[in-house]
Structures are given as structure tokens and as C-alpha cells.
Chain A
Amino acid sequence: MSTEQTPAASTSELALGFSDPVREAQATFKAVMWAVSRPGHRMPLATNLKPPAPLTPEMAALALALADYETPLWLDPMLAKHKGVADFLRFHTGAPITDDPAAARFALVREPGNLPPFTDFAQGIPEYPDRSTTLILAVTMLSDAPFTLEGPGIKSTRSFGATPLPADFATRWADNRLLFPLGVDLLFTTSGLVSALPRSTRITAEA
């Protein structure tokens, strides 16, 4: 066992991490890479993880593939109130859990209907816009409505929808886009799928 992490609980109490870390981390990253490269497109994301509820398997896969001691995690209230979630994430990633959304490199949002304002999170700075938070949302459904997307990674336009989201999501996203190259990036997860809205994407219509 390396010294980089402090087990928060004994292994026997914790759900297992990746059974084949090298292969599963690569496959998970690759799905996210293509999702960010083709905003709104739904990429298959297979995982056998059985993390403690209410953390979903797909959220857990993204966290295990991308987070480590260099990337503080912020948990939304629904995830934060279940202690087992933080224990699982700390043990398998070594990432510190932070209460400060602006200090987080990744934010895990289990209840995207109650999404905090994007401006609560790190936006990056003009010389280093990459110093921003990536939000990982668990949605119940990804679909082709009501939004029309344009921008890098999209041939002409692409249809996109996710449920649940705040009613004013399009307005919030437009405000985020206005900050470009600053702003947050969104990763949407649902059962077996991942999709993304990087900050470069514009919502040009809402049906």
C-alpha cells in the first residue's frame, strides 16, 4: 500500500474499486474524452462498480478514473449526508473532500434539479482558464430535447436534453458561455451512458 492515501475505513467495510484499474480507468476516460469531444452525444459507459448509495456506479467510475490527491472533490448535499460516499471516494481516489465548491476540481451532483449556481464553482482565471471545476451530474435520463447545441465538436447542430435540470438551465448555461474561456464544464452520467457540455458549447435553441 502506498503512503499517498489514508484509509478512512477498513477495506472490508468498503465497496470495491475497479477490479482492473489500468483497463477500467482507461476505458472510462476514453468514454469521457469522446463525450467532451462531441458535446451532447451519448457515449456508452460500462462499469461493474457498486458504490454506496446514493453515489451511482457511473459517477463513481468517473471519480475513480479522474480524481486523486491533486483534485479536491465537492459533494452536493444529497451525497454529503451519506458518510459512506465520502469514505468510498477518499479510499479509492485519495482525493480530499472539500466543503468549498470554488476549491473543487470536480463536483459530484446527485440532485441536478437542485444544481447550485455555476458561479459558486471555480471558473479558472484569464491566464489559466483550466483551473476550473468540472461538474459530474447524475441524471435520470439523457435525451434529444429540448436543447439545440452548436460549437466545437458539433458538425452543424446537435439535440440534447437531460432530466432533471433547473428550469432556468439554458439561461445559466448562456451566462457560463459568456465567460469563455473561463467557466465550468459539465459531465452528465446516467445508467450506462456519459455525455458532456464543455464550456465551448452554445445552447442556440430551447424547444
Chain B
Amino acid sequence: MTALEQTQTASTSAGMPAITYNFAYLDEQTKRMIRRAILKAIAIPGYQVPFASREMPMPYGWGTGGVQVTAAILGMDDVLKVIDQGSDDTTNAVAIRGFFETTAPGVATTTRTQDATVIQTRHRVPEQQLQAHQVLVYQVPIPEPLRFLEPRETETRKLHALADYGLMHVKLYEDIARHGHIATTYAYPVEVDGRYVMDPSPIPKFDNPKMDDSPALQLFGAGREKRIYAIPPHTRVVPLDFEDHPFKVQHFAKPCALCAATGVYLDEVILDDRGGRMFVCSDTDYCNTRQAEGHRGEMSALPEAAE
């Protein structure tokens, strides 16, 4: 690190030293290391690149891997959106957005998918088709798709090196034997560009098809396990399946109760303690945009449903 790069401290008018973080919190040497890992990850789609994950001022469960990836790519001309389970308003999303508003002055934030250049996400892919200049940064708790089948890192590395994914097929087939279908509904494993099997993070399998041939760049950061991986734009991403049990996404019986959208992922919302419930878009920006455009669902008239 050169002197110019070191985190600078400033003084307040009262003479008290105030800590001023480096832009986007991370020091420049850490950013370079993460940036190099990102470039390798893009060059080897689906391969998990090790990186020296740093301590971040938030717990691991809050997506420190995604935060570090975002911090390494963010520039002052970027517009950042942060979602958690499709929502911009959860504690986790608000905290991460606030973290970058504080540490990356100049970076604009938004809740609008179409206005964002960088979207950090936990557990969802936005409903709106992403665009070529956008980067989707996934927060990943467990990056190794073979981890529950083979706990030893040395062994999983070997299996990836040999492209030996028999274990994974056995696991999915056991699902079929036990349940009559593949019961995995989250973090459903995918094969990237015909080579590496990859964990898509705990998104619903409903979102898997959005990863395939996406115009956007998709980056994945796992902080605790110190891994970065990537799917370049327009890359073939195929969920693992069997000829007699092809991959299928969830279908919802009714449209969104607020905006009447179909073909989107819905969350169940409990309305009262008498069993009243409705199903609404998990992607709040998508739902709000549709409502603003005049789309109305069957519960739209309810005052509490409008908010």
C-alpha cells in the first residue's frame, strides 16, 4: 500500500479525530486482491476462486462476501440496489445499503431494478429482465455444492478438478426415490457452461432459469468460506436433472394479490389471526412498479394491502 492509498483520518472542527474510511471501506490492497479473484472467476465460469476474506463491520450471516465483492467493484458513477428476499426494506438490505451510503460517498442508491448498475442480493433474482451493463452480486452462505455430500475441501476440489459430479446426481436421485420428485427447492445446483457444478446460493429454484443466458454479469461472494465465483453474461446455466425427471420451477395457483402479476415468485403474507392470507410478489420493486402502472390484484382495495 502506498501512502496515498492509506486510509486517511480527518479532524472535525472541534479538533476531535474522526475516522474516515477508505472509499467503500476496504483498503486498496484488499480491493486489488478481490478484483484479481473476480477476473479469474469470470475467466473460469462456475469455479470457486479462494480469496482472503476480510473482517467486515457486520456479522457473517449478513452477507460479508457479497459486501466485499460490491465494495471492490463499486465506483462513484454506480447506482446501487440492495435486496433481501426480494425486498429493499428488510433490516439486512437497509443495513447494507446504509453501509455503502456511509462508506462510498458519491454512489447513488435506488430501489428501482432498472436504475441500478450494481444489485446486491440475498436469496432472489429480480423479476425484471436484467440488462447488459448490470452486475448482480449474490450473497452466498455455503458456496460448495458438494459440501453436504463430502465435507473435506481437499476432496471436493478433486471432484471439481475431475468434473466428477456423480455424488450430486446420486443425491438428487435419492430425492426422487424418496419423494417421487426432486425435493430440492432452494440452492438447486446448476452446471455452468458445461463444466463446473455450482451452488446458485439459496435462491428459490424458480429463479434458476434467470441465470441462464442473462445479459448481466453475475458475481457470487462467500465471506465466511472465502470464495468468489462468477457467471459471465450469456453463459449456459443448466439445472441438474434427469431425463425422466426434468427440472421444473414452482408454479403458483393464483396471481399476485396486489398487482395481479403471474409467472413471478410469490410470498405468503398472513393477514390476520383467523387464517386470512394472501400471496404477493416477493420482488417488492416489481410489485410496486406494476401497481404504479395501474395493475390491481384482488386484495388491492384493502388499505393495509396498499402499503
- How far apart are A134's CB and chain B's nearest CB, in angstroms? 7
Known A-B contacts A37-B42, A127-B158, A180-B195; the reply to A25 vs B3 at CB < 8 A is no
Are A22 and B22 in contact, with the CB atoms below 8 A?
Answer: yes
Instruction: Kindly provide the distance from the CB of B106 to the nearest chain A CB, expressed in whole angstroms.
Output: 9
Within 8 A of B (CB), among A14-69: 17-18, 21-23, 25-27, 29-30, 32-34, 36-38, 65-68
Given contacts A27-B75, A66-B32, contact A5 B2 (CB under 8 A): yes
> Is the CB of A129 closer than 8 A to any CB of chain B?
yes
Check: A155 CB closer than 8 A to any chain B CB.
yes
* Residues in B whose Cβ lies below 8 Å from that of A105: 36
A1 on interface, CB distance cutoff 8 Å:
yes
Known contacts A29-B35, A126-B161: does B234 contact A154 (CB below 8 Å)?
Answer: yes
Q: Check B39 against A32 for contact (C-beta < 8 Å).
A: yes
Q: How far is the CB of B221 from chain A (nearest CB, A)?
A: 14
Given the known inter-chain contacts A22-B23, A200-B45, please indicate yes or no for A30 contacting B32, CB distance below 8 A: no
Q: A5-B2, A181-B195 are in contact. Are A33 and B158 (CB under 8 A)?
A: no
Interface: A111 (CB within 8 A) = no
**Cβ–Cβ < 8 Å partners of B49 in chain A:** 130
Q: Number of residues in A with C-beta < 8 Å to the partner?
A: 47
Give the B interface residue count (CB, 8 A).
Answer: 48
User: Could you say which residues of chain A place their CB within 8 Å of the CB of B76?
Assistant: 23
- Is there a chain A Cβ closer than 8 Å to B73's Cβ? yes
Interface residues of A in 132-182 (CB under 8 A from B): 132, 134, 151-155, 180-181
Task: Assess whether A200 is in contact with B32, with CB atoms less than 8 Å apart.
Answer: no
List of B residues within 8 angstroms of A32 by Cβ: 39
When the two chains form their complex, are residues A37 and B217 in contact, meaning their CB atoms are under 8 A apart?
Answer: yes
Q: Chain A nearest CB: distance from B27 CB in Å?
A: 10
Does B65 count as interface, using CB distance less than 8 angstroms?
no
B158 cross-chain contacts in A, Cβ below 8 A: 126-127
Contact status A2-B31, CB under 8 Å:
no
